[in-house]
Structure 1
Amino acid sequence: MKTITIREAYDWLQVENQRPSSLTNVEWDHLIQYLEQKYQNENVVEYGNKRIRFINLVGVIQLKTVRIEILPKLDLEQNDPALNRRSLLNMLSVTKHLPVSLNDQTRSHYEKVDLSHILAFIYISELFKAVKRGLYRGYRSKTENIKHLKGRLLVSQHIRKNAFMSVNAYCEYDELSANVPLNQLLKAALKVIFPYVRNSTLKTQTWMIYEMFDEVEDVFINTSIIETIQINRQNKHYEAVLQLALAILHSSSMSTGENNQIAYSFLFKMNDLYEWYVGECLKRVLSPGAFKLDLQHKGRKLLIDTHTGRGTVQLKPDFVVSKLVFGEPIPVVILDTKWKNGRYGPNPSDTYQMYAYVTAYKSAERCIILYPKNDNELLLPKWRVPDSSPVKHIEIRTIRLDKVQHTIADLREILSFQ
């Protein structure tokens, strides 16, 4: 299996049949078909002449003969995928898109292999631990023509079936079974990911899980089946692995028909993931009794319509940090996350947007554009809004993403509340 690792919005992936770091013409066709099916009318790809670059998209795309790993573009100089993978794993773990806790030692191990292996390793390992604690069984309704009365007798069916066989009884009863929707979903996700497993230990664990799932039927997983799954005291230990299974099944399996080309992806839009991550870290920074954090705040309009007196042009900053004064939230800092390379300065439109925010929120003294920290960072600008009262500033700041502890430390320093 060929693996190609590239950086989002930085490296081009191109067609060149003889190079291991490039696509063949067949692989190119499969990839384009997959992207057109998965991301139709979405601006996540930049095309060139038989080459492609992913914009605002990270994760892994698994085709039949090639695995394409797309990492954040944080390390631009050392060309070490592990540095970028470490930050992505940190964000996925904190935002619960990888619903398992990754400590520093575990993350250090995972950052050395591509995301497809990481996903397979985590899912199979967590599933193996869950089923070893006990295969979940639930009650399922069953109808059967048997030689003794069990459950309730279905009279009309009994008369039709047993008019000449008086020793039988056509019954409906509940039976404790492993063939329940939860196990069917877990097995379906295992079948998606297993063909791409190369590690011998994982393969052994997978075959052992298949043996435990022997009475679990292979079914097509749809929304109606997912909605029947409920977490209770008996299956609570399956909760994390269930979320992983849903992520795998939601990752868009595809068949191209004539060549039976199967694909799945584990992809995230980087703008969204970065914003979710910052939000989770801010919750850990701000004391609940002293501050209030609003996400995607819609409390201000930019203009007032003179004919109707109503506000118009909705403002929606990513985060509004307010001090609680006698229980009343007073906005003091506006933050907006931007997942783009800020090393050469902000986009003017971003600065205009921050100006609109900081003037609309009268009590706010600071408006911060928050970029991810990368190498070779230049002096970060800070501006004062003229004739403002209180004195207002618009500034550019950056945060480290390799460890959640580093991100929290950076946010504490930036906000300087505590």
Structure 2
Amino acid sequence: MAAFSVLEYRSLPRGDGPGCIPDLLADRLAAVAKASTFAGRGEGGVLEDRRHELRARGVVGVVAAEDCSLEILPKIDVPAADGSVEERSEIRKRLVHMLAVALDMKIETGRLSYLDWQNETLLEILIRIFCDKLTEAVRRGMPRRYIGHEDDLPTLRGTLDVPRQFTRHAVNPSRLACRFDELSTDIALNRIMKAALAHLSRLSRSFSNLQRLRELAFVYADISSVPVPALPWGEVVIDRTNRGWQDLIGMARMFLRNQFQTTSTGARQGTALLFEMNTLFEEYVGRLVARSMAGTEYRVSLQGGREYCLTEQDSGRQVFQTKPDILIRRGGQVVQVIDTKWKRISSRIDDPKQGVSQSDVYQMMAYAHLYKAPRVTLLYPHHIGLSGADGIQGQFWITGQATALEMASIDVALGTDDAVVARLKKMVGSSIGEDLQALP
């Protein structure tokens, strides 16, 4: 299978030369991308099919078609040289870290150290991590629950179902209508794991991954097979007895729901595992801001607020509801509103407006008015083109209001998530006038 890789908002030229993608394969990948649920979103969807090139948009992940696959990686400034194999390897690591935080998964550093970041695609790396975690969980024992059964037996088991006994077996006392509970592994959580293994077995092109998936499928041979649309997600209850399976449920949901699509394009089959970077960046930053405020008097709400911009004069009905990405409260007062934007801003030397869109400013002005926050912040990914370290890049007063509007950046290429948390704590602390660095 031919494998290609491109950074978001970069192009892959069509053709037969080095670094190019043949027209036939480009057409197949473009068809799969158009069938994705992300088509038409993220500034043009997944891929822009141009005459001489395929251009990636604001969606990252893997698109696979017959005999070929395309990996789309986010543009994250890492220390490695631009366009090198090492650069893409480092970007994959950071993307997996962001996914782990956004999906509330714990992926140990030791587990990541031996992965083949340079030669494996994002999809194969995620499958490898899933197989490793599932193997460890199965070795500790598959989760089981008591399931209620009804059966007609020659001897009493459990309790006697009196109504059924005297209606069905009134003339045959040799059979007893029994109700009993039986400890079983054929439960919702295991059925979801089996469905995930079956899906990944159809997607993976790695020999080692396919071998691991086959071995795990053998363990789940006695579990009922359930079609993906009918999987009982609502029946899964994570408690102290199965807390070790929480990460696996999150990964299975990632593969089987929302971001993952299996599409058909004519006679050929295509698949895609895709993530909108705007949404991923928002969730990643939101969770780390919440972590940075832990242990303080400040409370963080993600996608909270829900205030309305307008109220109809006649009916009083409210319209145009707002959902700020991040609200920071002290008591009942909103002290800061943060809205994340996965786009590059420019240095103030190059552009006094820093490339910030007018619509984003209007949005923050509305938040300042509705939530009465003294500070509102537009938070962007940091890059080497910005002057100074990541943090506050620009500050303005909103005309006619006692509210400060900040443009800030955060470097997602920092070595660890703890480093990002420390930067966020310092940045948010300076914004709300508290020295949070001194807090434990």
Q: TM-score, normalised by structure 1?
A: 0.78
Secondary structure in structure 2 of the residue aligned to 1:5:
strand
Question: Cα–Cα, structure 1 residues 383 and 305, in superposed 2: closer, same or farther, change >3 Å?
Answer: farther
Counterpart position of 1:56? 58
Question: Cα–Cα, structure 1 residues 394 and 226, in superposed 2: closer, same or farther, change >3 Å?
Answer: closer
Distance 1:305 1:220 in 2: 46
Distance 1:140 1:271 in 2: 43
Counterpart position of 2:291? 284
1:372 deviates by: 0.3
Segments of 5+ residues of structure 2 without an aligned counterpart are: 348-353, 436-440
Counterpart position of 2:423? 410
1:400 deviates by: 0.9
Segments of 5+ residues of structure 1 without an aligned counterpart are: none
Distance 1:307 1:214 in 2: 63
CA contact (8 A) 2:33 2:39 kept: no
Question: Cα–Cα, structure 1 residues 329 and 194, in superposed 2: closer, same or farther, change >3 Å?
Answer: same
What do the CA deviations read for 1:247-279 (whole angstroms, capped 9, x no partner)? 2222223445744x252x332211111111111
1:400 partner letter? D
CA contact (8 A) 1:75 1:83 kept: no
* Pairs within 5 Å for 1:19-34: 22=21, 24-25=23-24, 28-29=27-28, 31-33=30-32
Q: TM-score, normalised by structure 2?
A: 0.75
Verify: 1:351 aligned to 2:365, yes or no: no
* Pairs within 5 Å for 1:244-255: 244-250=251-257, 251-255=260-264
Counterpart position of 2:249? 242
* Pairs within 5 Å for 1:113-192: 113-140=120-147, 174-192=181-199
Question: Cα–Cα, structure 1 residues 188 and 356, in superposed 2: closer, same or farther, change >3 Å?
Answer: closer
Counterpart position of 1:272? 279
Question: Cα–Cα, structure 1 residues 221 and 361, in superposed 2: closer, same or farther, change >3 Å?
Answer: closer
* Pairs within 5 Å for 1:213-252: 213-223=220-230, 225-250=232-257, 251-252=260-261
Q: How many residues align?
A: 405
Q: 336-345 or 142-151, which moves further after superposition?
A: 142-151
Question: Cα–Cα, structure 1 residues 348 and 108, in superposed 2: closer, same or farther, change >3 Å?
Answer: farther
Secondary structure in structure 2 of the residue aligned to 1:122:
helix
What do the CA deviations read for 1:146-193 (whole angstroms, capped 9, x no partner)? 766656686599779x99xx9877877654443333222211211211
Counterpart position of 2:397? 385
CA contact (8 A) 1:61 1:67 kept: yes
From 327, 336, 340, the counterpart of 1:337: 340
From 74, 77, 84, the counterpart of 1:75: 77
Question: Cα–Cα, structure 1 residues 40 and 359, in superposed 2: closer, same or farther, change >3 Å?
Answer: closer
1:128 deviates by: 0.9
Question: Cα–Cα, structure 1 residues 289 and 126, in superposed 2: closer, same or farther, change >3 Å?
Answer: closer
CA contact (8 A) 1:16 1:22 kept: yes
CA contact (8 A) 1:27 1:65 kept: no
Distance 1:378 1:355 in 2: 26
Q: CA RMSD in A?
A: 4.0
What do the CA deviations read for 1:25-50 (whole angstroms, capped 9, x no partner)? 25623641453253355342333226
What do the CA deviations read for 1:6-32 (whole angstroms, capped 9, x no partner)? 112x22245446767525525623641
Distance 2:155 2:309 in 1: 76
Aligned-residue identity in percent: 24
Distance 1:309 1:170 in 2: 61
